[in-house]
Structure 1
Amino acid sequence: MSKVKCNHCHLEFSESIMIKEEELNFCCKGCQGVYHLLQDQNLDSFYDKLGSKTIQPPLEVSSDLNKFDTQSFEKIYVTEDENGYKKVDLIIEGIHCAACIWLNEKVLYNTDGIIDANINFTNNKAKVVWNSKKIALSQIIEKIRSIGYNAFAYNSKIADEKASLAKRDYFIRMMVAVFATMNIMMLSVGKYTGFFTGITPEVKHLMNLGEFILATPVLFYSGWIFYRGAYYGLKNRILNMDFLVSVGATFTYIYSVFILFGLKGESYFDSVSMIITFVLVGKYLEVLGKKSAVDTLDTIKSQIPLETTLIKDGNKIEVSVEDIQIGDIVELKTGDKASVDGIIIKGESSFDESSISGESLPIYKKVDDVIYSGTLNQDSLVQYRVTKTFKDSTLNSIVTLLEDSLASKPKIEHKANEISKGFSVMILTLSILTFFVWYYFGINLGFDYDGVNHFEKSFIVAISVIVIACPCALALATPIASLIGISELAKKGLLFKEAKFIEELARTTKLVVDKTGTITNGKLSIVKAQILDENIHKLDLLYSLLDSSTHPISISIKEYLKNHYKDLSLKNLINVKTLQAKGMFAKYKNLEDKEFEILGGNQKLIEEFGIKYKFDSQNSVYIFAINKKVIATFELKDEIKDFAKEFVSDSLKNNIDVIMLTGDNENVANYIANEVGIKTVVANINPIQKAKYINKLKEEGHTVVMAGDGVNDSVALSSANVSIAMGNGADISIAVSDIVLLNNSLESLNQAFIISRKTYKFIKQNLTISLIYNLVTIPLAMAGFVIPLVAALSMSLSSLIVVANSLRIKGK
């Protein structure tokens, strides 16, 4: 029975099972369906990209698709972005070339409801974003399977296990290379000594044979890492460092084999072994350098308990943290760590929050206080009501942010990567030119070679050019410094959502700060209170209005009322509105259906509603009125944060102009600004005006950083080049920010600028080192001054210098 090729998968099959369609042949209905799908979607150029390569026929759609739409699957693997779109990381099986990547991305992009789909060339990991109202995840998986591939959820635990296995494999290969190379070196010492003292051809041949036996596993077992890397690079039309190493070592090995079996000249098995060993050791040390940066992430992960105790129907049950729901009651014993966020409903205790904020002193917590995941209960048993699921809890959010920041790239790294892509092509071209110049023009630096030896000299010089060039140092320059910088920032209580903000922070020219909660503690103390009408029902309305706000002023006055009046109760207010940078407005209807208009805020709010009541003070002022009659006034003072003066002074020394934008009155703003040394103050400004002010600074060419907290800062934060949310801020301000300051300390905020500047400086140093190294060593190698052995050593040293220089970021 004759064989024919399938027009889709290109696999050969028997004519007896063929599906014939005019001039087309298909091995199965799946291939026939995919072929017409690609034709209908104008994706038939896939076959041009595929060429003569074969692929697997489409998989049969199995019944396991429903699991991708279950709540348990979504809880573990799916996240939601700020636009309400769903996101998932998938591993796509069956991809083996750039055409497969192209096909999957095109098909996904052309599917209605899919917003974004990007597939990593090296590990086949796809990040898919979709609109769940238009398409289900199971349909996306079905689509991928329908074109001949399979997809399953990316699991970080499995990825960690694979990474550990890969590291161990790396270490074994390196040890094989080191052992063999040390023995080759001993043979080489004897061979080179014999060169001067006399050695017989037979003994020399035996030594070459011994070197051959030892160098072979080094090249083909230990060096397999470089062959694999070169293969993936070539598959995607990229000549990388692995390609240069493997080409240099392989050509040298082949030439030495010819010498072993009779060709006249010297063998270079020692160079083959040392090229692989030196570069392998260098790469392993790079892995260790990266690991030290990622250890911070592992430390934070270890703070998350896997199970917790729930109180349900009076019974205590142990459940997985992923099964905890909002509203559940959690019991926390002495020595236990909180697994999710919540509010204490019973008991009181001291908590160690060092894993979150870096604060070493325990913090006393009582009923109604917030507990954060990862914090340690030190004193006594407490019960708390869950307010966030495990996925959204503080510590898990920190881990997610840190993972994302470690995976992201600064702008300068993208530029370096573009340079390194063309670098390998240039080196290969220079190597070939070097060979022909040496061979045809007889450049031999004064030495006289016969035909074979002249070829040998030309060949070895060309190999040295390939081996000494180091795109590795260039490619390492930015990511290794960024990783170490990100981990150091995390230790200081600073979470960068992306590594690119290091570069932005280092280039800051204008720093815009809010007053309350940023320069000041945000915990206002009441210095004077005037209750003009102590009717308890009216105070209930004040208490209810304050309870509707999370502003520091509202929280402080609410606490004051709780301490001075025991019989307060919450009323059901209607039409509650927050009036930006002024205060709050609400209405209330009593049992007789009588309506009351309630106001609470600053002087500006009172005047806007036509209430004539003048109240001057250097402190922050809160005026409460019912039906345009003032019922109570409060003067509040906010203490300036520790290190505020030093922070402003250090910013000014580094040519960063500090500007205070605040909704508070001008007297208070100027007083605080004068105390800390801020020269530019804009007071009585609402959130929209703050955002316009920041946009104006950006239009003038400034790199603007904004630090603030609270809902009223969210618009301005989103307008800045880099936004920094203080850790005690509202959820919305944290959500729109690029950097989260966990411990709320200005000293840590100062460290953000110091470490970012230092990291950016070392990135530029690393790039300079790698460029100067290549500019100096490549011409030397082309001139014949460097043998492959020295080339391999210097190449590894250049990478290690970059890593060692980056580790200096950890220094003082």
Structure 2
Amino acid sequence: MANIACTHCKLEFDESVMIIEQEGEKKLFFCCKGCQGVYHLLSSEGLDTFYDKLGDTKLQPASQKSDDLEKFDLEGFKNKYITSHEDGLYEINLIIEGIHCSACVWLNEKVLHKTEGVMEATINYTNNKAKIVWDPDEIKLSKIIETIRSIGYNAYPYDPKLQEERAVKTRKDYYSRILVAVFGSMNIMWIAIAHCAGYFSGMKQEFKDILNVAEFILATPVLFYSGWIFFRGAYYGYKNNIVNMDTLVASGAVSAYIYSIYAMVTQRGEVYFDSVAMIITFVLVGKYLEVLSKKHAVDTLDSIMGSTPTEVTVITDKEKSLISIENIVLGDTIELKPGEKVVIDGIVTYGQASFDESSLTGESEPVYKQEGDSILSGSLCLDSVLRYEATKDASSSLLHSIVSLLEESITKKPRIEQLADAVSGYFSSIILAIALIAFAGWWFIDDDFEHALIIGISVIVIACPCALGLATPMATLVGISIAAKRGVLFKEATFLETMAKSDLLALDKTGTITEGKPSVVHTQTLQKYDHNLLYSLVSTSNHPISKGIATYLKQNNELLQELPLVDIKTIQAKGIQASYQGKKLIGGNASYMQSTGLSVDEQTENTLFYFAIEDQLVARFELSDTVREGTKEAIKEIQAMGVRVVMLTGDHEQSAQKVAQEVGITEIHTKLLPQEKAEMIDKFHEEGHIAVMAGDGINDTIALAKSDIAIAMGNGADVAISVSDVVLMDEKPESIYEAYRLSKRTFRAVKENLGFSLLYNVIAVPLAVMGFVNPLVAALSMSLSSLIVVGNSMRIKTLKFKDKS
């Protein structure tokens, strides 16, 4: 039984995988269970039922096996791969297999967006990773997977370990196809040389026929085996009325192949089997190098996300046991040995050790930890055994937050990439139309079918939608990777574009420009008082001033205790008040004291804190904060970029002016409440500025939310990650400067890539239309254009940074 065709998809297949059914007197043949199931679905329910949820987008029914779909709806699968949102929506990261160009991305996103129940679908072209958000009440995940398969692609959950295995398998597949292509092409070129020699010196037809047949034999496996991936992509594109890069390559190569067979059989004209082989070889090698380059770019992120232990040693009733990190609960005692990575945040309860936190903060120096110190997931225990108590579970630890942040960042597309994707979706169709017009025009003008066909093929092959599609995602991926390595985490790739365009930076003073840990430099006791009262009051607040007072009191008083206060109130950016056994306690700055009717002296450059009991001032404290190392240099470099730098602070003018002069800021706004800082951001927007705001992520939340880019100085604190667009893991002002440099360099690379892609196509296509390019050169040019874009993106890695001290 030879040449058996599937009853559903009409493709011929190997009878060893054949499925046979009897329908009355008629036999049905299916190449897979997918075709068998869809055939009966269409027969019983009709096309309208099958397509009704996808509007006017027609899908090619699934040709993959569908008997594994039920696993996507199992509870175990959900617990492992699916994230539940507070609003009831589900989210998953998938790898879409079979994506070859930006038109593939456009098609998948278009189809998924038209699928009822799918709320969000974004795909990153550089690693084929998709973020899907859907309503489980309207659609099941298995149906989403089936929809993706129905247009010729496959999807499976993202798993770093499995992803590496699949990447190795893909590379091996490319190896074998490239090997056949190179072998065939090299031998065809030797024959082509003999052809050329015979063309100029004269060659008998029978020898020419032998050479033609030899080229035919060598070109056929190159076209149909090495070029199979292009035929497969073109087939599904045709079935779904989409013209993609695969369509261009396949149609160009097949046209030359068919004409060459005609010329060989009729002995009229020249054969172009060498062009057929070279088109496939050049484009295939180009795609493979592109895959390797993208993999190399992703490796930086993988190094941060990867090599994470899946089990930890837990101490229970003096016994040790290995427990999966997913089963760790708050309060569990975990043991760390030298060389082990921390995967759960916690507090040291026994022992001491040095930790490498370079993957989190960029600091190369080990950090010493002892009892009572907190340790962060992602750090590495270097030299001792210690035990610590888990303060978070695996899903809320810092390492998981960072990984989630990075995964999110590479799925969110900048506006310029969204535009490029939209253009790429129609680019191939336009090129195909131009090629047909060029073919018809030259045939009409010259009355030479062969010449017109070669020109049409050259137009089809030379156009490169890949370079256009790669221009933005490749550059942003490299930029995000380098930033992450430097301890600067961008939540979305689009923030690189926004920050590159920013012309104003607003900085909070305390905790951003300064260390945020003010210490007491002078005290004045106006009346004798119980220090326990003040210690209890400031202990109710996490404000740096309160912490500075508390630290001072602990250093100067051996026996301190927290008293049970009531009616505790915190007045933002002003102070705190409470009651103890009927006594009214007030602590805060001069402005707050004056608002309560107390008379205070404000003449000092330092920060002031007053303490009153029953409306009587009893103590006055002067505190000073130190400027972060490297702040002055970083601000100078940022200003040199043309960025206007301003200070927004709730502190009084004298203190702010002192810090501003020290770091080189000339524009300051003082005594601002949180809502007034936000109003200043609104004012900057009215002036036409694109504003970046850097703050501690707590008191500056409103202003951060109003800014175009919010930068949190929080050493990865939960609140910083949640409210910001960019997180500085090391809290260093130099990192803000590095974020600006990387953003501007990355956006420049994006514009260079897009400019080159457009210029290449604007020049190359007309040259091909005019007949100045043959298919061989066209294939090489197409591959090189993509590699140039990839190479230019990789140049971002040459950006030099100073070592952070």
TM-score if structure 2 supplies the norm length?
0.85
Q: Which moved more, 1:145-154 or 1:367-376?
A: 145-154
User: Is the counterpart of residue 683 in structure 1 residue 677 in structure 2?
Assistant: no
Q: Which sections of structure 1, spanning at least 5 residues, go unmatched? A: 17-26, 443-450, 589-593
1:307-706 pair list within 5 angstroms: 307-442=311-446, 454-530=448-524, 538-588=530-580, 594-706=581-693
Deviation, structure 1 residue 426: 1.9
SS in 1 for 2:776: helix
Question: What is the alpha-carbon root mean square deviation over aligned residues?
Answer: 3.8
Deviation, structure 1 residue 155: 4.0
Distance 1:727 1:176, change over 3 A: farther
User: Is the counterpart of residue 156 in structure 1 residue 159 in structure 2?
Assistant: yes
Q: Distance in 1 between matches of 2:342 and 2:781?
A: 51
Deviation, structure 1 residue 682: 0.8
Letter in 2 for 1:254: I
Letter in 2 for 1:201: Q
Q: Distance in 2 between matches of 1:57 and 1:218?
A: 28
Deviation, structure 1 residue 716: 1.0
Letter in 2 for 1:175: L
Deviation, structure 1 residue 460: 0.5
Q: Distance in 2 between matches of 1:440 and 1:328?
A: 82
Q: Distance in 1 between matches of 2:425 and 2:177?
A: 27
Q: Distance in 1 between matches of 2:436 and 2:361?
A: 57
Deviation, structure 1 residue 245: 1.1
Q: Which sections of structure 2, spanning at least 5 residues, go unmatched? A: 1-6, 9-19, 26-36, 98-103, 800-805
Maintained 8 Å contact 1:303/1:374: no
Distance 1:175 1:344, change over 3 A: same
Letter in 1 for 2:636: S
User: Is the counterpart of residue 295 in structure 1 residue 287 in structure 2?
Assistant: no
User: Is the counterpart of residue 182 in structure 1 residue 206 in structure 2?
Assistant: no
User: Is the counterpart of residue 207 in structure 1 residue 211 in structure 2?
Assistant: yes
Q: Which moved more, 1:361-370 or 1:686-695?
A: 361-370
- Matched residue, 2:133: 128
Deviation, structure 1 residue 562: 2.6
Q: Distance in 1 between matches of 2:148 and 2:24?
A: 22
Deviation, structure 1 residue 412: 0.9
Q: Which moved more, 1:250-259 or 1:412-421?
A: 412-421
Deviation, structure 1 residue 121: 12
Deviation, structure 1 residue 500: 0.6
SS in 2 for 1:586: strand
User: Is the counterpart of residue 230 in structure 1 residue 224 in structure 2?
Assistant: no
Distance 1:583 1:75, change over 3 A: farther
Deviation, structure 1 residue 74: 5.8
SS in 2 for 1:501: helix
Maintained 8 Å contact 1:46/1:99: no
Letter in 2 for 1:331: E
Deviation, structure 1 residue 350: 2.3
Distance 1:263 1:308, change over 3 A: same
Letter in 1 for 2:576: M
Q: Which residue of 267, 272, 280 corresponds with 1:268?
A: 272
Letter in 1 for 2:570: T
Q: How many aligned positions are there?
A: 756
Deviation, structure 1 residue 672: 0.9
Q: Distance in 1 between matches of 2:572 and 2:314?
A: 41
User: Is the counterpart of residue 259 in structure 1 residue 263 in structure 2?
Assistant: yes
Deviation, structure 1 residue 786: 1.0
Distance 1:337 1:633, change over 3 A: farther
SS in 1 for 2:693: strand
Deviation, structure 1 residue 171: 3.0
User: Is the counterpart of residue 250 in structure 1 residue 254 in structure 2?
Assistant: yes
Q: Distance in 2 between matches of 1:747 and 1:304?
A: 29
Q: Distance in 1 between matches of 2:611 and 2:564?
A: 18
Distance 1:61 1:221, change over 3 A: closer
Distance 1:121 1:284, change over 3 A: closer
Maintained 8 Å contact 2:697/2:704: no
Q: Distance in 2 between matches of 1:82 and 1:324?
A: 22
Distance 1:270 1:405, change over 3 A: same
- Matched residue, 2:713: 726
SS in 1 for 2:759: helix
SS in 2 for 1:331: strand
Maintained 8 Å contact 1:58/1:149: no
Distance 1:776 1:455, change over 3 A: same
SS in 2 for 1:749: helix
Distance 1:566 1:81, change over 3 A: farther
Deviation, structure 1 residue 145: 11
Maintained 8 Å contact 2:149/2:155: no
Q: Distance in 1 between matches of 2:197 and 2:77?
A: 68
Deviation, structure 1 residue 257: 1.5
- Matched residue, 1:21: none
Deviation, structure 1 residue 738: 0.8
SS in 2 for 1:712: coil
Q: Distance in 2 between matches of 1:690 and 1:211?
A: 74
Maintained 8 Å contact 1:619/1:637: yes
Q: Distance in 1 between matches of 2:155 and 2:62?
A: 23
Residues 178-227 of structure 1: per-residue CA shift (max 9 Å, x gap): 22212222222222222223333222222222222221121111112222
Q: Distance in 2 between matches of 1:57 and 1:282?
A: 31
Letter in 2 for 1:676: V
Deviation, structure 1 residue 56: 12
Q: Distance in 2 between matches of 1:782 and 1:290?
A: 32
Q: Which moved more, 1:324-333 or 1:140-149?
A: 140-149
User: Is the counterpart of residue 796 in structure 1 residue 800 in structure 2?
Assistant: no
- Matched residue, 1:591: none
User: Is the counterpart of residue 168 in structure 1 residue 172 in structure 2?
Assistant: yes
